[in-house]
Amino acid sequence: MGDASAEAQYEFIIASKPNPTVTLITLNRPKALNALSSPLFHELNHALAQAELDKDVGAVVLTGSEKAFAAGADIKEMKDIEFAEAYGNNFLSHWTQITEMKKPVIAAVSGYALGGGCELAMMCDIILASPTAKFGQPEINLGIIPGAGGTQRLTHALGKSRAMEIILTGKNISALDAEKWGLVSRVVAEGEGEVVKEAIELAKTIASKGRLSVMAAKESVNTSYELGLREGLHFERRLFQSLFATKDQKEGMSAFAEKRKAAFTNQ
Ligand code: CO8
């Protein structure tokens, strides 16, 4: 069921709760193929902050339309920006708030995920793709380079040679190649709304786990991007040990021993 009060307050996105434990955020600028603008990010950041605060919510799904997850940053909004303004106001700096989320965010991608759209999907924790999904970093065709992680996250996902080819030519990656190359975790079945349905199911599954261990797992996986193996393993071990201070660890292990389903309380 959609949450009508949440839907009413935004112009460029729709926020709803298809399940009490899941927030669904839908980018909603259909005429501009969900081109990402500053006002849109303002709303997105607000909806994400609400989801982070909502005690019932355990995971977030971010999606677009059937035709476009997002066709990039809004070129018309950007085209006249001068260096002094871009640099002086740290242009795009508030577009990455999604990476600060403690709760997992799943991108459900149909159609175009280009430029900033591809980068936004890559800022999420898991990407599910519909067979129509097309990923790419076409910035080179506009005389710029990716500005919100494309040269970094795509290279981590695909390796140097493939990332170079994609970024230097601006050509798109099909859903099947994205799956084969590890950019997305899987391509779902064909059909309108299928990828969102799958993403909501996945979000519900994650939300049914203990919140503290989900957050710790997300933090630990993300740390593997930042640290070398030795420091990463050390960080993981310390987080692992700290979870023995939680009630959820006692409950999870007792439930296993007593052959019953764990009732996590997120404490
Ligand atoms: N910005 C502004 N408007 C756009 C954008 C965009 N990125 N993409 C599409 N639109 C608009 C079109 O101008 C058009 O508007 P109108 O009807 O008023 O002419 C409408 O959406 C429909 O688009 P098309 O008619 O072009 O639709 P097609 O189906 O023919 O083509 C494409 C679809 C191939 C996706 C095509 O629209 C396209 O190439 N779009 C631009 C893709 C692109 O270059 N993206 C990269 C932008 S630069 C960028 O993202 C920098 C990243 C910065 C960091 C972001 C942080 C998250």
Average pLDDT over residues 203-231: 96
Q: Is 5's pLDDT higher than 50?
A: no
pLDDT tens by residue, 70-113: 999 999 999 999 999 989 988 888 899 999 999 999 999 999 99
Q: Where are the domains of the chain?
A: 4-207, 211-257
Our answer on whether the CB atom of 111 is closer than 6 Å to any ligand 1 atom is: no
Q: 106 alpha carbon to ligand 1 midpoint, in Å?
A: 23
Is 139 tagged catalytic? yes
Q: What is the DSSP letter of 259?
A: T
116 flagged as catalytic: yes
- For residues 113 and 134, the answer to whether their CB atoms sit within 8 Å is yes
Classify 211-257 by CATH class. mainly alpha
- Residue 232 beta carbon below 6 angstroms from any ligand 1 atom: no
Report CA(216)–ligand 1 centroid distance (Å).
Answer: 37
**182 CA distance to ligand 1 middle (Å):** 25
pTM: 0.95
> Which burial class, exposed, middle or buried, applies to 255 when counting CB atoms under 10 A from its CB (0-12, 13-18, 19+)?
middle
59 pLDDT exceeds 70? Answer: yes
Distance 120 CA to ligand 1 centre (A): 15
Per annotation, catalytic residue among 35, 51, 59, 73 = 73
- Looking up tokens 């070398």 gives 228
Residues 6+ apart with CB under 8 A from 47: 6, 10, 13, 15, 23, 25
Superfamily of domain 4-207: 2-enoyl-CoA Hydratase; Chain A, domain 1 (3.90.226.10)
Tokens 């949440």 sit at which residue?
6
Share of the chain above pLDDT 70, in %: 97
Question: Which residue shows structure tokens 């899941």?
Answer: 22
* 170 in contact with ligand 1, CB cutoff 6 A: no
